[in-house]
Homo-oligomer: A and B are copies of this chain.
Amino acid sequence: MRAVVMLSGGLDSATVAAMALDRGFEVSALSFDYGQRHRVELEAAVAVANSLGIIDHRTVAIDLRSIGGSALTGAIDVPKDEAGTEDAIPVTYVPARNTVFLAIALGMAEVVGARDLFFGANRLDYSGYPDCRPAFVEAFERLAHVATKAGVQGERFEVHAPLMHMTKAEIIKAGLALGVDYRLTHSCYDPAPSGLACGRCDACRLRRQGFETAGVPDPTRYRP
């Protein structure tokens, strides 16, 4: 059976891809070139796909800068050294990003004959993003059944978010057990032109704390 896995090149999605393979799926990986500041993650996605033996890896270009509204694609600065809270939605939130990405993954699933979609949504770490919650995943599944040729013909789509309730440390341990090479992954929202991580944005802080809590060495190359 084939599954479409959204592969950003980050730690989470690399782990999700390894999980999908471990469950016996043939994986079609999907990455997005959406005008993100951290485009270096696209190279990481290619490296991760190669290291996992994923042959079908497509990158869809979509210029979300045209609609603006986020620190990840626009002129707003990426915040540093700030703790996220349950209530505040970070400025790095890209309006409707996961809705857009899952919609494209759904289209790709129809094309490659997959009925399973995997993505790295995580409730605990990214509680500030509305489109990383179980309610979002369920609503998207319901939409998939009425939005597609396959759904109308009675087939069921399943949206898997295996990391939903895991901590970053748990994700890292699970990935290491599956042989994920985290050196290849990229998490920083605001990397140096060389690709080195800033070590201070939300994504860097969560990643660093994850390795610390997991008690394993952090292979990330940080900016001096």
Contacts and interface: CB of A to CB of B under 8 A. Distances in A.
Interface of A: 30, 58-64, 66-69, 89, 93-100, 102-104, 106-108, 110-111, 130-131, 133, 135-136, 139-140, 142-143, 145-149, 151-152
Contacts of A140: 143, 147
B146 A143 contact: no
A48 to B, nearest CB: 18
B100 A69 contact: no
A86 to B, nearest CB: 11
Contacts of A107: 64, 67, 69, 94-97, 99-100
Contacts of A135: 146
Nearest to A74: B111
A61 B64 CA distance: 8
Given A104-B96, A107-B97, A111-B67, A147 B142 contact: no
A130 B111 contact: no
A8 to B, nearest CB: 16
A142 B135 CA distance: 10
Contacts of A68: 111
A224 B199 CA distance: 64
B96 A147 contact: yes
A95 to B, nearest CB: 4
Given A67-B58, A69-B111, A147 B98 contact: yes
Contacts of A69: 107, 110-111
Contacts of A149: 89, 93, 95, 130
Nearest to A60: B66
A191 to B, nearest CB: 24
B147 A108 contact: no
B103 A130 contact: no
Contact of A148 (B67, B131, B145, B147): B131
